[in-house]
Amino acid sequence: MPTLCVTLLRGGLTALAVAVVLHLLRRAGPRAGGLAAALPMTSLPALAWSSIEQGPAFAAAAAGAALLTTAMTGVFALLFAHAAGRWPPRRALVAALLPGAGLIGLASCVGGGLCVAAGGTAAVLLACRALMPAAPATPAAPVRRARHDLAATACVAGIATALIGSLAHQAPPMLCGMVAAIPVIGISTTLNVHRQAGGAAVAIFLRGYLQGLWAKAGFLALLAGLLPHGPSLAAWTAAVAGAAAIAFAPSIRNASSPLAKSSGRALAASRQ
């Protein structure tokens, strides 16, 4: 079992990495912020530490279980996007979290292998994308978070990583994986966008968040499938590369579209 110093070091490194990413995104638009908030900034280090200490098989099983939480995070994003137009942030959060938490418990009882988990996650994310409310046509302004809010989110991410590292020595991989994928950063950032910019900006943010969830699901599925059957470094490299391709390929394609170009010119003109 890791010592207290090692546990604190893990949490500190994760908190530092999350703080840097969130600081860089302070000036980003809601969609870009949503994409980044969904990336596995807490589950990746937690799975990496579990792979080093518990072995690749443990980390692969945890990554497969994390797919369940990722699928239900998509349900949370869908429900919050619809609730944000009707209710204040806290009521919208409760309305979005409770059904998702119940579905996670139900999914954990169903079982099944990696193919079932990956296929079910893809089906849920496709349905969530189809049912998301329409985003406003006008570009949304960047939403800036206060520095103390960024620090609090980074600290929570660090604490979560430290706790998961300790949990890995006392709990099965399924529980560790599901806990590792809890969207601490996504929930915090979604609430902040809702408080500052309202339901319209939340709709844009959560559309980007769903795109990021596809990348997170791809990372987890590749890691769970490759880690037990080959060199660990190759499996991690392929999983990270796959997540990056899923996350940024749509952005590159959309950036070349006429609508994106006209939106970009409108934003540039507004800043002059």
pLDDT digits (tens, 9 = 90+) for 220-251: 999 999 999 989 999 999 999 999 999 887 65
Torsion angle of the four alpha carbons 139, 185, 188, 140, in this order, in degrees rounded to the nearest 10: 0
Statement: residue 13 has pLDDT above 90:
no
How far from chain centre, in Å, is Cα 15?
15
Helices and strands, number each (H, E), in the chain: 12, 0
Per-residue pLDDT band at 25 (split at 50, 70, 90):
low
The chain-wide mean pLDDT, for the chain, equals 81
Report the distance separating Cα 86 and Cα 91, nearest Å. 9
Classify residue 136 as left (phi > 0), alpha (psi -120 to 50) or beta: beta
Q: In this predicted structure, what is the pLDDT of residue 143?
A: 58
Q: Give the 3-state secondary structure percentages of the chain, helix then strand then coil, rounded to 5.
A: 80, 0, 20
Report the distance separating Cα 7 and Cα 103, nearest Å. 31
Report the distance separating Cα 200 and Cα 66, nearest Å. 30
> Structure tokens of 236?
């991690």
Q: What is the pLDDT of residues 49-108, one digit of tens each?
A: 889 889 999 999 999 999 989 999 999 999 999 999 889 999 999 999 888 777 666 666
Identify which of 29, 21, 101, 111 has the alpha carbon closest to the alpha carbon of residue 65: 111
